[in-house]
């Protein structure tokens, strides 16, 4: 078995496709069947090339001898890739939802969309409040604290001030 160490660089090794019983690799993903340290079973980890941590780790099926793991094969690898991609997509959606809030104020053609976008800077996080009309034209923009709680009342107060009120 061509075993690539866990700490191997993801550069040139990631370019080589591998299809072995406990290690599969394509141009984006590496699946590695590993011994589950918590019990007598096995686990599989899916790591996106360039990442240090697996996107997905889960139990793996025992083989017929009930001691060794079932070998990886093309259908299992493709299922794992699909599942790992879905996990990443859900993480991205969750992050987006955490960093972006939006409310609408008004009615009809007078509707104004106020969006809050949090900038997660490690030292000085902040947020940007932006108001846009129905056509997408920016009406106002202001920098606010990263912990600013956007709601329709605050958005309406900001709009009423002509986008000049200091928002807290």
**Contact (Cβ atoms closer than 8 angstroms) between residue 35 and residue 42:** yes
Instruction: Sketch the domain layout of the chain as residue ranges.
Output: 13-98, 106-160
> DSSP H helical segments within 65-163, as ranges?
74-99, 152-160
pLDDT confidence of residue 14: 53
Per-position pLDDT tens, the chain of length 168: 444 454 444 444 556 899 999 999 999 999 999 998 777 789 999 999 999 999 999 999 998 888 889 999 999 999 999 999 999 999 999 988 888 999 999 866 689 999 999 998 889 999 999 999 988 999 999 999 999 999 999 999 999 999 987 877
Strands (E) in 15-137, as ranges, are 18-19, 23-25, 29-35, 42-48, 56-60, 100-105, 112-119, 126-132
Going by C-alpha positions, the residue among 128, 153, 148, 151 that lies closest to residue 140 is 128
Supply the pLDDT for residue 53: 94
């Amino acid at each position: 078995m061509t075993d690539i160490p866990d700490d191997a660089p993801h550069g040139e090794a990631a370019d080589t496709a591998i299809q072995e019983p406990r290690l599969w690799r394509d141009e984006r993903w590496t699946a590695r069947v590993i011994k589950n340290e918590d019990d007598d079973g096995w686990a599989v980890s899916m790591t996106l090339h360039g990442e240090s941590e697996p996107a997905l780790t889960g139990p793996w099926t025992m083989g017929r001898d009930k001691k060794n793991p079932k070998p990886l094969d093309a259908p299992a690898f493709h299922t794992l890739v699909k599942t790992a991609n879905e996990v990443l997509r859900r993480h991205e959606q969750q992050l987006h939802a955490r960093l972006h809030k939006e409310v609408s104020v008004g009615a009809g053609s007078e509707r104004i969309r106020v969006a809050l976008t949090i900038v997660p800077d490690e030292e000085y996080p902040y947020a940007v409040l932006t108001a846009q009309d129905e056509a997408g034209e920016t009406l106002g923009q202001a920098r606010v604290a990263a912990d600013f709680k956007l709601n329709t009342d605050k958005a309406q107060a900001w709009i009423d001030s002509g986008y000049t009120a200091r928002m807290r």
